[in-house]
Amino acid sequence: MRARTHKADWPADRLAEARAIIADVAHHSDHLIQLACNVLATHGETATERKDARVLLVVIDAWRPIRQAQRDDNREIRQ
């Protein structure tokens, strides 16, 4: 049987999950990284943590066109 966590614990749990995702960014999807960044940018404990999350969001957004082009190139090669 699982112990129920107190409702007040969920924000701390989400922050911990977001930090874990960011700490291991190479092994997570861009979408999950964006979700984690949004959590930290909104609910991060310090101004620095919130700012760093916003900066990482900008970096992830900049990757998108490059990754899309790579996917498109791979599709053309397979055809």
Give the pLDDT confidence of 21-66 residue by residue, as tens digits.
999 999 998 889 999 999 999 999 999 999 999 999 999 888 776 7
Asked if 28 and 56 touch (Cβ cutoff 8 Å), the reply is no
Asked if 73 and 43 touch (Cβ cutoff 8 Å), the reply is no
The full DSSP string for 7-56 is GGGHHHHHHHHHHHHHHTGGGS-HHHHHHHHHHHHHH-SSHHHHHHHHHH
Mean pLDDT value of segment 62-71: 70
One-letter amino acid for residue 11 of the chain = P
Taking 50 as the threshold, does the pLDDT of residue 17 lie above it? Answer: yes
pLDDT of residue 1: 43
Taking 90 as the threshold, does the pLDDT of residue 73 lie above it? Answer: no
